Amino acid sequence: MLLNFYKYQGTGNDFVMIDNRQDVFPKDNVKLVSFLCDRRFGIGADGLILLENDETTDFKMVYYNSDGRQSTMCGNGGRCIVAFANYLGIVDKNTSFMAVDGLHNATIENGIVGLEMQNVNEIKEKANSLFLNTGSPHHVQLVEGLKDFDVRKEGEKLRYGLYGEQGSNINFVGQASEDTFNVRTYERGVEDETLSCGTGVTAVALAMNHSGKTKSNIVKIVTPGGNLEVKFQNNENGYDNIWLTGPAQLVFKGGIDVES
């Protein structure tokens, strides 16, 4: 079977995109998804995303980690699927779509995608870190010497040692200025550092505001893959009106032979 695909990236977080509105993709084939995401034997990506029909919104997003398993929300993936839907002519400048964590609104203009994230009503304080869920679970920890920090080694320790098999994404943070933070993320499911993580940088922005490291409601995040911006509003329960904004681009498209 020849499978047509599109490769997208959002600040270096890359995804195989498949138009599955005809419902032909074998969604339970973990081995196939893992193969497609393999950087040596397949296409290569941090994850795979299916764009599907939805009865109440413009489309539905189904997200898989590169290990082949369906996972929780992916922020950069959400921004990339908006760009993909725009490319396919499904949406124009404004859209709403359904994902595993519920409804998302989004905007796109000149390759910049803004994605509304779910409200966050709880941030757990740990000894030297914070934990919160922004559609996916995230550990946020300030560290010294972020540039030379061993993200894979230390992230793996925390991912399994502190959070067990279910795990958490691990974000290591360095403060650059009052409203700007450098972030490097170890992603579960990828089991390595990725160049950027959308739900991760969202978690960092909220955690830094919660802890008083910044008083700003517009936080700039610098990742190894590029720059993102997180806007939000404080409320008595936590945070709402949370928007993740940054570039999302088509890299290439093609076809690959797979077993049907």
**Span 112-122, pLDDT tens digits:** 999 999 999 99
What topology does CATH give the domain 2-94+249-257? Diaminopimelate Epimerase; Chain A, domain 1 (3.10.310)
Q: What is the CATH number assigned to the segment(s) 123-247?
A: 3.10.310.10
Q: What are phi and psi of 167, to 5 degrees?
A: 75, 175
CA angle 253, 117, 12 (to 5 degrees): 35
Q: Which residues have a Cβ under 8 Å from the Cβ of 47 and sit 6 or more positions away? A: 15, 16, 37, 63, 64, 65, 66, 71, 74, 77, 189, 190
Q: Which residues of the chain have pLDDT under 70?
A: 260
Check if 197 is active-site. Answer: yes
Over the stretch 175-205, which tens digit does the pLDDT of each residue have?
A: 999 999 999 999 999 999 999 999 999 999 9
Q: Enumerate the domain spans of the chain.
A: 2-94+249-257, 123-247
pTM strictly above 0.85: yes
Q: Residue 233: how many CB atoms within 10 A of its CB?
A: 11
Domains 2-94+249-257 and 123-247 fall in the same CATH topology: yes
CA angle 186, 49, 23 (to 5 degrees): 155
Q: Which of 62, 132, 190, 197 is labelled catalytic? A: 197
Q: Which of 17, 32, 45, 74 is labelled catalytic? A: 74
Q: What are phi and psi of 162, to 5 degrees?
A: -95, -30
Q: Which residues have a Cβ under 8 Å from the Cβ of 236 and sit 6 or more positions away? A: none
Over the stretch 114-157, which tens digit does the pLDDT of each residue have?
A: 999 999 999 999 889 999 999 999 999 999 999 999 999 999 99
